[in-house]
Amino acid sequence: MLIIGCDFHTRYPSTNGQLQVWEKVNLCPIQGRTPGGGANVGISTNLTLQTASFTTQVAGGTATFTAVVTIGAAPINQLPVTFTLTRSAASNPNGVLLDIGSAAANGTCTISASAGNCNVPFPVASSANNTHAGAVTWQFTASTTNTNYGSSGAATPAPNPLVGTVNFTN
């Protein structure tokens, strides 16, 4: 029987009474092993914000959302993994004048260790001459091209959807 993609090792003969036995040992303990090597193992992937809500002044107010991707245990052949994190365009019903954060933004980070994490900062700021108060919100997502992570490469946001809010107040 020929098995492609799994390594077998022949142990030295052992003696069982007067009978010599050659043992074949399967060295493919990872479930889901694919032909040619490499394991297709589903890896949990979560996306959170270090702080999801800020309050700052109307004129020249600033805040930084730090989006964090965390992975579960991952086999070495699936590391490192790079994620693209996205902050949506601002939802700004009160017309706060934003110097930073009105448009969508992307950033990348790389995780090199099993059960590791990485993060991307997303600063936002109101204009120095802003006079509009109110809440501005953004939605955050993360994904990778490696579909073994999360849900087909998408990190699971917690909560879902993952929203950050800045309340610009007088």
Q: 95: domain CATH number? A: 2.60.40.10
In a domain, 28, yes or no: no
Within a domain: residue 26? Answer: no
Please indicate, yes or no, if residue 60 is contained in any of the structural domains. yes
The pLDDT tens digits of the residues spanning 113-166 come to 999 999 999 999 999 999 999 999 999 999 999 999 999 999 999 999 999 999
State which residues form the domain around 165.
45-169
Residue whose entry in the numeric block shows the structure tokens 């394991």: 39
Task: Write a three-state SS string for the chain.
Answer: CCCCCCCEEECCCEEECCEEECCEEECCCCCCECCCCCECCCECEEEEECCCEEEEECCCCEEEEEEEEEECCCCHHHCCEEEEEEECCCECCCCCCEEECCCCEEEEEEECCCCCEEEEEEEEEECCCCCCCEEEEEEEEEECCCCCECECCECEECCCCEEEEEEEEC
Q: Total structural domains in the chain?
A: 1
Q: 85-107, pLDDT tens digit by residue?
A: 999 999 999 999 999 999 999 99
In a domain, 3, yes or no: no
Predicted confidence (pLDDT) per residue in 33-90, tens digit: 433 345 467 999 999 999 999 999 999 999 999 999 999 999 999 999 999 999 999 9
Stated pTM of the model: 0.77
